[in-house]
Amino acid sequence: MSGGHLSKEFFELVKSIGESRSKQEEDKIIVGEIAILKQHLSAPNITAKKMKEYMIRAVYAEMLGHDASFAYIHAVKLTHEKNLFAKRIGYLTCNLFLHRDHELMLLLINTMQRDLGSANHIEVCSALTSVCRLVNLEMIPAISPLVFKLLSHPQEAVRKKAVVAVHKFFKIVPETVLDQKDQIRKVLCDPDPSVMGASLHVLCEVAKAHPASCKDLVPSFVSILKQITEHRLPRDFDYHRMPAPWLQVKLLSILSILGTADKANSEHMYEILQECMRRADSGVNVGYAIIYECVKCITKIFPDHGLLELAASNISRFISSENHNLRYLGVTGLAQIVQVNPAYAAEHQMVVVDCLEDPDETLKRKTLDLLFRMTNPQNVVVVVDKLNFHLRTSVDAHLRRDLVQKITSLAERFAPDNEWYVNTMNTVFELSGELVPAETAYNLMRLVAEGAGEDESADQAFRVFAVNTYLKLLEKSTLSDILVQVIAWVLGEYARLASVDGYTIEDIADLLSECIERPFEDPATRGFLVTALMKLIGQHGVKSTTAEDIIRSYRSSRMTDLQQRCYEFEQLRQSPAVMRKVLPYDASCEDIVVNKDLSFLDSFVRRKLDEGAKPYQSAVERAREQEGLAPKVEAELKPSLNFMPYEAPTKPQPSPVQDAVGDAGSTYSTEAAVPKGLNVSGPRKWGPSGYNQPGGKPDIPQAPALDLC
């Protein structure tokens, strides 16, 4: 830092910042540095060496969160220099300072175009680096022809940077690259491995967008992967004695895309995938990464039994490892295999369950996801118990929401019996009722109402079980809102089936009445309880003073829905027969017969017509009647804005004074006839309002102010 290429002033700046003890002290130093930079940059004839240092100091200031926008224009100017050193510094600082939509990009585009066509490959590389960083939608039509031309440049560094720029073009405007896809396919055969490796990223994006357009390249990809695994590339591409691992990973990713649901192309891949996994098994981390990528590819292409067996055996070694990263890799890979054939996960069930005890939260979450994928009717009870345990102990809201979704999905798909399903959902409602969607509760209510549909006696026994279960739960002091809603609905419909010792319908009504006074987050919960009381009283004629007091007190509730339910209850209470008919027992699944013609109202309508009421008119009839109204009446009925322009102003008629003085605008003397009361001292002109005014302004005495006291 103290060498001759940097000034002592910059060295002291960096040293003082490193020694600062607070953010305030650091900010004070940077503010002083920015003031010094502004002074230096405003000086004339700055040398290239000094300008380089000033740009680095400006970058340092921006890196620490301060505004150095005054230096941006100087960075752009540096890109115009003929000196290669200054030009490269200019492009570098522009990449750091500007963004692709910056207003100064208009000053940079011409320089980029000139440098892209330069005979010096260093200038071309500098411009390509900025193109990759700063290109925008408007620049692509002007830049892309020059970049595509550089794909055949004699320098491999230029070709590689041009491919990277093309990749950037594809992310912004894919059509620009797809129109020149033949040139990109030629780059795949480039003699330089680094250029070929850069082209894989573009071709991978093209394969994702249009897999059919790259199907014919599968033999080429397989051949390249085979050459890499056989160490035909230079040793410079090895990493931990593994040949070009990143190229292998990218090639495997492309093959997994092109082999999906394609048996013919997948068969070309089987041999190289097996060989790739064998050679990658060298005991180093990068080899494990290649094996995992092979497993992903095997699970996505057209399945082969032998490859799946090989993939499962490699994954089992990962899961059994003591290394957390390898266990995570094994759990993730096994989740991929389970999607193809769940049978491969059977032998690893206990190992996967042991991963749940690992202190690593990331591994634990991935294991929960794998358990969800491995669940079947035989192990659903064990898996749901594990998920419920973590739901009970976890405090992460996102994890809890994910666990609720998994438990409810498994319970609905693989429940061994209805009783287990009810108990499982009750546990979920108790542990995290606020995270359970309303559809889940409705599904449970529908199951209680409809039953399994196979045996009526079994369905009735199930309802008895549900009523007894919810009756015991109602005694708990703390319950979630959604669980209270389910309890209220079930007891309101089937309370007569209760077989718990010591409980009568009156006791159940009292319990529901007491539950209303609890604090609830969802205002609709009390509505469920009031409706349940209405059903009990309507079906069984229960006389509960507690319930009547509750209904009376909530008539003045701020919740309109709850208030309406209470008033409806009191009105129906006056007609027990009507109340029983309106709230029948076990009628939630019955179809409602709707008389669309409303024929039961015919006698009422006829009587009103005889009394002189106006007959009903359809919308068409009313529209026809309105069309026949007078325009004036119609305008009154349909107010609208007046879009007619004002009439042009007319010149006022001449007054006696005007006759006396002649044409408008002429001067006159004080001897001319003027209205009484006007001050006519000095020359006068005729104003636009018709008054005699000095300079065109009225000179009328002001009326005395009104006394409003």
> What's the gap between Cα 274 and its chain centre?
40
CB 40 within 8 A of CB 46: yes
Confidence of residue 670 (pLDDT cuts 50, 70, 90): very low
**Letter string b/e over residues 325-337, b meaning 16 or more CB atoms within 10 A of that residue's CB:** ebbbbbbbbbbbb
Greater pLDDT, 421 or 686 = 421
What mean pLDDT comes out for the span 357-376? 85
Q: What is the pLDDT of residues 406-462, one digit of tens each?
A: 999 999 999 999 999 999 999 999 998 888 988 999 999 988 888 876 678 888 889
Crossing angle for the helix pair 324-340 and 305-319, nearest 10 degrees? Answer: 150
Mean model confidence pLDDT for the chain:
84
What is the average per-residue pLDDT within 73-97? 91
Residue type, 74: H
3-state secondary structure 617-632: CCHHHHHHHHHCCCHH
Distant-in-sequence, close-in-space partners of 391: CB < 8 Å, separation ≥ 6: 400, 403, 404, 407, 428, 431, 432
Closest alpha carbon to 76 in 38, 111, 123, 33: 111
Q: Is the pLDDT of residue 634 over 60?
A: no
Question: What residues contact residue 18 under an 8 Å CB cut-off, 6+ apart?
Answer: none
For residues 562 and 574, give the distance between their C-alpha atoms in angstroms, rounded to a whole number: 19
pLDDT band per the 50, 70, 90 thresholds, residue 5: low
List, in sequence order, every residue forming a beta bridge with 242; answer none if it has no partner. 239
Q: Which two tokens stand for residue 520?
A: 């609830």
- 145-159, pLDDT tens digit by residue? 999 999 999 999 999
- Tens-place pLDDT, residues 288-299: 999 999 999 999
pLDDT of residue 322: 84
pLDDT-derived band at 6 (thresholds 50, 70, 90) equals: low
Cα torsion through 553, 559, 562, 566, rounded to 10: 40
692-693 and 238-239 beta bridge pairing:
unpaired
- Kindly state the tokens that stand for 494: 């089937």
- Average pLDDT (119-123) is 93
> H-helix or E-strand containing 447?
helix 438-450
Residues 697-709 pLDDT 10s:
444 344 444 333 3
Strands (E), 227-296: 238-239, 242-243
Which tops the pLDDT comparison, 223 or 614?
A: 223
Q: Are 119 and 85 contacting, i.e. CB atoms less than 8 angstroms apart?
A: no
* Beta strands 685-686; 238-239: pairing state: unpaired
Token pair in block for residue 569: 């209850």
Helix and strand numbers, DSSP H then E, in the chain: 35, 4
Q: How far apart are CA 353 and CA 364, in angstroms?
A: 10
SS (H, E, C) 184-218: HHHHCCCCCHHHHHHHHHHHHHHHHHCHHHHHHHH
Range 402-409, long-range pairs (CB < 8 A, 24+ positions): 402/368, 403/368, 403/432, 404/428, 404/432, 404/435, 404/436, 406/368, 406/372, 408/436, 408/440, 409/372
Residue % of the chain over a pLDDT of 70: 88
Cα-to-chain-centroid distance, residue 360? 28
| pLDDT tier at 696, thresholds 50, 70, 90 | very low
**Segment among 73-87, 165-179, 370-384, 624-638 with least mean pLDDT:** 624-638
- Give the pLDDT band (50/70/90) at residue 126: very high
Tokens 């609709």 correspond to: 524
Question: Hey, where are the domains in the chain?
Answer: 453-582
Residue 218 makes CB contacts below 8 A (sequence gap 6+) with 255, 258, 259, 265, 268, 269
Write down the pLDDT at residue 663.
44
Residue 333's identity, in one-letter code, is G
For residue 150, give the DSSP letter: G
Please tell me the predicted confidence (pLDDT) of residue 547.
81
Q: What is the CA radius of gyration of the chain?
A: 43
Terminus-to-terminus CA distance in the chain, angstroms?
86
Q: Residue 434 contacts by C-beta under 8 Å, 6 or more apart in sequence?
A: 480, 481, 482, 521
Q: What is the largest CA-CA distance in the chain?
A: 125
Say what the alpha-carbon torsion angle 458, 460, 461, 462 is, to the nearest 10 degrees: 90
Tell me how long the chain is: 709
